Amino acid sequence: MNPFLFDIRNLPTEGKQVSGKLPASFFQLPETDTLKAESPLTYELTFIKDGKDIIVTGSLEATFSMECGRCLQPFKQKVELTDYQAEVPIEKETTMDLTDLIREDILLTLPNFPRCEDGNVDLRDCPAEGNFEPTDEPLVSEEPGADGGVWNALDQLK
Ligand SMILES: [Zn+2]
């Protein structure tokens, strides 16, 4: 049974509470994707009807693995939405399915440009850090006196 699918007409005025776990396949991530769901989805949600909207509150938690855009190594990222809130307009007073909304809201919190050092499961420094980014430190060859010294000395011999 899908916990995020319910009939608005049967919704108690104080709201409907659901909690539990759903398998990682809930996220429907393609096998070929470097982004993978590594844990079940843990959810604890309340659905309340408020006029023309359904108000969703609660918490969501799942762990993903993805590829670092810099060193290309996989790392894990845990998503914890402890204060999740959504407002969904009621289109029909029949059944409502919030599966897509919840899936997308979780996936949207993942970084567009993942960096392994930002992972919150195994703390690490990206081994490729700085490889592709300009640094503020001047290059050695540009330092005065380093390479120029020889030529200065030759000039003085003339
Ligand atoms: Zn990295």
pLDDT of the residue at 143: 47
Q: Among residues 91, 90, 99, which one has the least CA distance to residue 3?
A: 99
Distance (angstroms) between ligand 1 centre and the Cα of 58 equals 32
Q: Using pLDDT thresholds of 50, 70 and 90, give the confidence band for residue 146.
A: very low
Q: Using pLDDT thresholds of 50, 70 and 90, give the confidence band for residue 51.
A: very high
Q: Among all chains, which residue has been given the structure tokens 């996989």?
A: 74
* Predicted confidence (pLDDT) at residue 106 exceeds the cutoff of 60: yes
63 alpha-carbon distance from chain centroid: 9
d(CA 24, CA 29): 9
Average pLDDT estimate for 69-89: 96
Distance (angstroms) between ligand 1 centre and the Cα of 15 equals 44
What counts of helices (H) and strands (E) characterise the chain?
2, 7
pTM of the model: 0.79
Tokens of 90: 């009621």
Distance (angstroms) between ligand 1 centre and the Cα of 4 equals 36
d(CA 67, CA 33): 10
Distance (angstroms) between ligand 1 centre and the Cα of 90 equals 43
The pLDDT mean for the chain works out to: 88
Distance (angstroms) between ligand 1 centre and the Cα of 79 equals 19
Distance (angstroms) between ligand 1 centre and the Cα of 109 equals 19
Is 37 within 8 Å of 21 (Cβ atoms)? no
d(CA 88, CA 49): 10
